[in-house]
Structure 1
Amino acid sequence: MTSAVAAAAAPFVSSFTRQEPSLRIPSRLPVRTLTTALALAAVGALAVPAGTAAPHEPAPVDVAVDWYDLTAESVAAAGASTQVTNNRTWAVGWLAAARALRADGRAAYQEAALAGAVHEALSELTPARAAELDAALDATLDRVPDGPAEDAGLAAGRREARALLAERAGDGLDPASVNAPITLPEPAPGVWQPTPPAYGPPAQAGNRHARPFLLAGADQYRLAPPPAVDSARHRADLAEVEAYGSADSTVRTAHQTETAEFWYGSSLTLYTEPLRVALDRSPGSLAERAELVALFHVALVDTQIATSDSKYAHLAWRPVTALRAGGDADWTPLHVTPSHPDYPSGHGTYAGAAEGVLTSLVGPRTAPFELTSPTAPGVTRTYTTWRQLSVENIDARVFSGIHTRTADVAGVRLGRTVAAHTLRNADQLFD
C-alpha cells in the first residue's frame, strides 16, 4: 500500500460522526412500553442492577433474568445454523410471554406465565434442550406459591406460545428458506460476485422473502442505491478499505485491529450481553421487561429481512472484488469476507436496530458494563452508551477489510429505521 493511498483514505477514518443522521425516537409508544421508557430514563446513567441484595443476604431470584439466561444457553447450544432463525426463537418465546403477562398482574401468575411461555417455545424450537428446560420450569414453579394464580399463569403462557408458534408457521425463517439459492447476474463492475477464498454461493438471499413481524414487506424501507462505481465517494471508500483493511496494512493501529477482531463474530452473540444488562437493570414490571426482550428480537428479525432486501436489490460488490478488479490482484482483507453483498452491512443494521430499541426503551446511557467477544479472546471492553457499539461496528467492518464505510453507515441507519417502525407499531403485536 502506498503512502498516497493512505493519505487519500485518512480523512474518511472514523468519519461516522459527521455522516451519522440523528436518531429519531418514536413519538408514540405503546402504553406499557412508554411506561418502561419513562421509568428507565429517570435512572439514566445511575442505573444499577436490579435485585441487589444487602450484604450477607442471598440475592432474590429474578425470573426474567433466569429465563433470559436459559434462552441464551439454549440458542447457543441447540439453536439453528442461521442467525435470523435464532432471533426468531427469542422473539417467539418472549413475545408469547409478554402477551400472557398482560392478562393478570398477580405475582404468582406473572412468574408462572413467563416460565410457561418461554419453556413451551424453547421446547419446540430447541428440542435437544428438553431436560434442561424441564428442570428450569420445575425450579421456577417450586418457588411460586401453589394455587389458582400459578395454574392460570402456566396455562396462559403455554397457550400463548402454542398460538404464536402456529401463527409464525411457514414464515420462511427456517435455515433452508433463509439460504435459498438464487441466480446471479453476469459479472460486471459494481456487481457482487462470490468472494475468495471459498467463492461460496450467496448466503441469506432468502431472508427477503420471509414474513416479517411488523413490516408491511421486506422492501418497505429499501435503501437508495449505493454510490456509483465511478463516483468520488466510492473511490474514497475503496481507498480507505485498501489502506486500513488489508491483511498486511501498515497504517492500521493495534487498537483498530483489536476492534476488527472484537466485532468479527455473530451479532446475536455479541448483543446478548448488552440486552441482558438492560433487562437486569430495568426497574420496570415483569411484563414490561418481557416486552423489552420481545421487541428487541422482533425488531432484529424484521431488520434482517429488510437487510436482505436491500443487499440483493442492489447487489453491490465487496471491497476485495473491487480492489482486485482495479489492479491490485493480490489484495487480501484482514478477515474472510462473508458470502453476500456489501450494501448494507448486516453488522451495521443489527447494531442500528439494537441501538434504536435500547435507546428508546432504556435511554441512551447506562452505568458502565463490560463486554467480551469470542473472536477476541482475552479482550474486555467497557461501555456506557448503546451508540458506541454502533460506532465500533462501523469502524470494525472497514478495518476487517470486508465492507465499505458507506455500507456500514447505511446499515446503521436502516436498522434504526426498522427499530423505530417496530416501536411505533408494537401495539399490533399484542392485539
Structure 2
Amino acid sequence: MLPRPVRRTLALAVTPVLAASALAAPAAAASTSSADLALEWFDVTAGTVAAAGAPTQVTNNRTWAIGWLAATRAVLRTPSTPRPEDYRGAAFAGAIHQTLITLAPARKAELDAALATSLARLADGPSESDGLAAGRQQAATVLADRADDGLDPASVNTPFTSSPAGAGVWQPTPPSYSPATQSGNRLARPFLLRRADQFRPGPPPAVGSERYRRDLAEVKADGSAGSTTRTPEQTATATFWLGSSYTLYTEPLRVALAATTGRSLAERAKLVALFHVAAVDTQIATSDTKYAYVSWRPVTALRAAGHAEWRPLHTTPAHPDYPSGHNTYSGSAEQVLTTLVGARTAKPYTIGSPTAPGVTRTYSTWRQLTTENVDARVWSGIHTRTADTAGVTLGRQVAAHAVREAYRLFR
C-alpha cells in the first residue's frame, strides 16, 4: 500500500434518497472529504468517457449509471467496521474504478493512478481493503446484471427500414440522406421503466391541422438558414445547444454535485447515478416514441409543401422529429436536478458548449436550460415546437418515475 500522509473524514450519514430541497449550506454532520471524493471521481468518469467513450450517447450514460449505481450500493451497505469512513471511501472509489477499467480498458493506467490518489487519503487496514473489495464486487454485480441490455453501439444503431414516402412519414433528410439512427434504443432493457412505451405520448399533430400549420410556419420562418426573422441572439442560442445533450449537461450536473457538499457520500452518489439512470430510460422512451410515429422532419415537410430550396440553419439529425431527443434529455435532467437538489442554485452558475467554443452562459435554475433547448431546436430548423414540448414532458415523466422507483435500485 501507498503511505497515508493525508487523512480525511468521509461523511457518516447515509439516507435512502436525496431530499427535495434547494441548495443549502452544508450540514454539520458531513465533511468536505465526501465532496472531494465525489467530485474527484466525477471528473475521472467524465475524463474517461471523453477519452474512451462509445460513439453512442446512451452507451456513455449507461457507463455512468453502472459505475455510480455500484458505488452507491457499496457505500449504503457499509458494515460494522472500525473505520467506516475509510470503508466507504474505498468502496466508492473501487466501484467506479472497477466499472471504468471494465468498460474503458484503454484507460487503465490513468484509472489506476486515480484510485491510488483516492486510497492515499485513507488509513491502511481492513476497513480500507474490505471497502475496496466490496466496491469491486458491486461493480461486477451491476455489470453482470446489465450485460446484453441492448445499449451497446451496434444494438443502438440497429438498421431501420424507412416506410414508403407519404405525408407526415419520416424519410432520410438532406444533405447526406443518411439512414435512421438510434432506432435500437427502443428495444433496449431499461433500468427502471416497466416497458419502453410506459409514458408514450399521443401522436403528433395531424398533417394539415391548425397546430401542424402553425408549427411548420414557425420553423419555416425562424429556422431557415437564411432567416430574416431569427435574431442574432436566437442564432447564438441555437448554436450553443446544438451539440450532444450528454456533453452539454455534464457541466450542470457537476454544478449540482458541487453544491451538495454538505450531504453524505451515498446521497451524492445517488444524485449522479439517478441522473444517468433517468437519462438512459428517457432515451429508450424517446426512441420508442420516435419510431412508433416516424414523423417527418420540418425540412421534408416544407419541401413537400413546395419550398424545394428551404434549408435549416443546422443539419437535421437522422431520426424522426417527434419527440425531440434534446428536449426529452433536458426534461429528464431538469426533473432529476429539481427533485433531488432544488429548482434554484444558491448562486448563478456558468457553463460552456462544445458547439460554441469560448462562449459561456449563466443561469440560476435548471428550467432555464430546458426553455432554451425548446427554442434552440426550432431556431436550428430541425424540430417543430410541438416535438420539443412533447419531448420535455416525456423526459420529466420518465425521470419522475426513476426517482419514485429508485428504491428498486438501492435496496
TM, length-normalised to structure 2: 0.92
Output aligned runs, 1:262-277, within 5 Å: 262-277=240-255
Give unmatched runs, 5+ long, in structure 2: 1-13
Contact 2:289/2:322 (8 A) holds in 1:
yes
Q: How far apart, CA to CA, are the structure 1 residues paired with 2:35 and 2:211? A: 53
Q: How far apart, CA to CA, are the structure 1 residues paired with 2:48 and 2:355? A: 20
Displacement of 1:74 in angstroms is 0.4
The letter for the 2-side match of 1:85 is T
Answering whether residue 72 of structure 2 is matched by residue 98 of structure 1, we say yes
Q: How far apart, CA to CA, are the structure 2 residues paired with 1:378 and 1:285? A: 35
Q: How far apart, CA to CA, are the structure 1 residues paired with 2:294 and 2:392? A: 18
SS in 2 for 1:87: helix
Displacement of 1:202 in angstroms is 0.4
Displacement of 1:183 in angstroms is 1.9
Select the residue among 298, 303, 307 that pairs with 1:324: 303
The letter for the 1-side match of 2:51 is A
Task: Output the aligned Cα RMSD.
Answer: 1.8
- Number of residue-to-residue matches in the alignment: 390
What's the counterpart of residue 196 of structure 1?
Answer: 174
SS in 1 for 2:364: strand
What's the counterpart of residue 206 of structure 1?
Answer: 184
The letter for the 2-side match of 1:299 is A
Residues 215 and 363 of structure 1: is their aligned pair in 2 closer, same or farther, counting only changes over 3 Å? same
Select the residue among 91, 98, 113 that pairs with 2:91: 113
Select the residue among 4, 10, 15 that pairs with 1:32: 15
The letter for the 2-side match of 1:64 is A
Select the residue among 204, 224, 243 that pairs with 2:202: 224
Displacement of 1:128 in angstroms is 1.2
What's the counterpart of residue 135 of structure 2?
Answer: 157
SS in 1 for 2:252: helix
What's the counterpart of residue 56 of structure 1?
Answer: none
Answering whether residue 241 of structure 2 is matched by residue 258 of structure 1, we say no
The letter for the 2-side match of 1:197 is P
**Cα distance per residue 1:263-319 (max 9 Å; x no partner):** 000000010011101111102100110010000000000000000000000000000
Residues 384 and 339 of structure 1: is their aligned pair in 2 closer, same or farther, counting only changes over 3 Å? same
**Consecutive aligned runs of 4 or more in structure 1 exceeding 4 Å deviation:** none
Select the residue among 43, 49, 58 that pairs with 1:69: 43
Displacement of 1:41 in angstroms is 2.6
SS in 1 for 2:348: strand
What's the counterpart of residue 410 of structure 2?
Answer: 430
What's the counterpart of residue 400 of structure 2?
Answer: 420
Q: How far apart, CA to CA, are the structure 2 residues paired with 1:408 and 1:364? A: 21
What's the counterpart of residue 291 of structure 1?
Answer: 270
Q: How far apart, CA to CA, are the structure 1 residues paired with 2:254 and 2:409? A: 22
The letter for the 1-side match of 2:388 is D
**Cα distance per residue 1:207-245 (max 9 Å; x no partner):** 000000011111111110000001000100000000000
Residues 60 and 411 of structure 1: is their aligned pair in 2 closer, same or farther, counting only changes over 3 Å? closer
Displacement of 1:42 in angstroms is 6.4
- After superposing the two structures, state which structure 1 stretch, 263-272 or 97-106, moved more: 97-106
Residues 225 and 110 of structure 1: is their aligned pair in 2 closer, same or farther, counting only changes over 3 Å? same
Q: How far apart, CA to CA, are the structure 2 residues paired with 1:61 and 1:387? A: 25
The letter for the 2-side match of 1:316 is S
What's the counterpart of residue 63 of structure 2?
Answer: 89
Displacement of 1:60 in angstroms is 9.4
Contact 1:102/1:287 (8 A) holds in 2:
yes
Contact 2:23/2:259 (8 A) holds in 1:
no
Contact 1:33/1:361 (8 A) holds in 2:
no
Contact 2:221/2:227 (8 A) holds in 1:
yes
What's the counterpart of residue 11 of structure 1?
Answer: none
Residues 198 and 52 of structure 1: is their aligned pair in 2 closer, same or farther, counting only changes over 3 Å? farther
Displacement of 1:61 in angstroms is 7.2
The letter for the 2-side match of 1:69 is D
Residues 52 and 245 of structure 1: is their aligned pair in 2 closer, same or farther, counting only changes over 3 Å? farther
Contact 1:119/1:137 (8 A) holds in 2:
yes
Contact 1:353/1:419 (8 A) holds in 2:
yes
Q: How far apart, CA to CA, are the structure 1 residues paired with 2:26 and 2:232? A: 33
Q: How far apart, CA to CA, are the structure 1 residues paired with 2:245 and 2:57? A: 8
What's the counterpart of residue 403 of structure 1?
Answer: 383
**Cα distance per residue 1:293-347 (max 9 Å; x no partner):** 0000000000000000000000000000000000000000000000000000000
